[in-house]
Structure 1
């Protein structure tokens, strides 16, 4: 994170790059990426040279990091903000996180987004725009049910809207019954999604294991080949090695990730896309809540990823 912040700061204010030549901060013997402590020192020194210029940091998804690392990082940035304030500099830092773990911020404004009226409006707009149902009356009924059961959880809404669209072809009554049967809690919803039809469970397990156990997030074509290598000996895919160079390979990768993960994994939208779960809560359900062992008892216990 500090490396990313530092890169953006030095690219935005190129004159600050002179800090990299300061031997008191960066050892002359430095080769490769500096250590974390050195990165912190470079970042702090760069911020101290901002003068009258402003710098705003946005740090997203604190809940997806190790809790102790988060607390240390927040403390470091708070100290840097205090030093900047004493010098009359304008350094703004914005953190975002789920409610747990709770991270206390000594100075600043706390905004609880799911308690804002705009959050409810966003949920309303999302449901109305994404529900692929032509009957306006049914849309209104379903919208009310979905928002009531969602209790402000956007991810729950996203998953349930997808389920509703799939169920739409079965008729009005079946759709309403399906919605009533969907669990309120995210962990139960994940379990419901994974066990819904018990189809392609071998593909699903491999998909989950590659995301959980890979040393680094896999690129789409790597993930595609990894699945093929695991499914080919079982006769569940074609024997021929898949072609990942065709023009429609991007669509193939996306379809593979979404269908094999039953919608719980995605390809990130970035310059170097990788395959990941749609949210950290999916990983929490599989590992911390023992969902992996409950659905596939043969994989064993005492998982830590």
Structure 2
């Protein structure tokens, strides 16, 4: 979703739509929201989403504020005039950001025609929404209906049935990370020999992934390794079945399969990252997280981690050397 928002082609096509569809030559405003189920309440709630979207649109066109929030605008303006009369410095804020008010504001924004606009809302991670998905779906549908062709949504989610049933009739695409596997010579030979079974294998990967790119990446890497070892189709299916579907068991599977020669190095990395986050199993978790320790104020950077695990690191030589790329996949002794 971030790629779609940043890509110049998105804006190019949307500007064409804004200029050539009634009302023609309308300004185009974009707003985004990324649900995050590990974040704060605002980052996974409908109220948080609406506040973010409305703020972005109104920031682009402040003249919409009296239209979208007429009551709040009138109250704030009245208080402003009263403050001017009394020559006071402070302006009391109104605590009016309730979900009902925010829904009404979005509906008003969608219906208003005083300021012709075309709007695009990009909302990522519907499956990480922490409330009733039916309510979110209803809000999207109502906004589209009120906009009468002036509003578009671009939504992303894991392939949950409720979202597929609600939005499946609209233009959509399903993402997977299978390009690397399809481009592999061994896979192409296998596809020529057993096209039907190979296609079934690919479809099973997509089905099991449920939109989790990391899972697909790990699975594809395992299957490509099998193909290089000349595994037959039954071996590849076995590999796929052995990999856990959920991410946490998959992490455990990956850790268990680390080669013994790297275990000490991996242990050091885990311990450094763990300590940098202010978490130590030998001390009290709450005491650490409630304190203002240096580790809490200064997050661990990639270069700091590299310096921490690099044995016999020569800082003077490194400063004198021509800088080169720091590869994330390399061990400390492999960096130049």
Tell me the TM-score normalized by structure 2: 0.45
Q: Which has the higher contact order (CA 8 A, sep 6+)?
A: 2
Tell me the TM-score normalized by structure 1: 0.49
Query: Which of the pair has more CA radius of gyration?
Result: 2
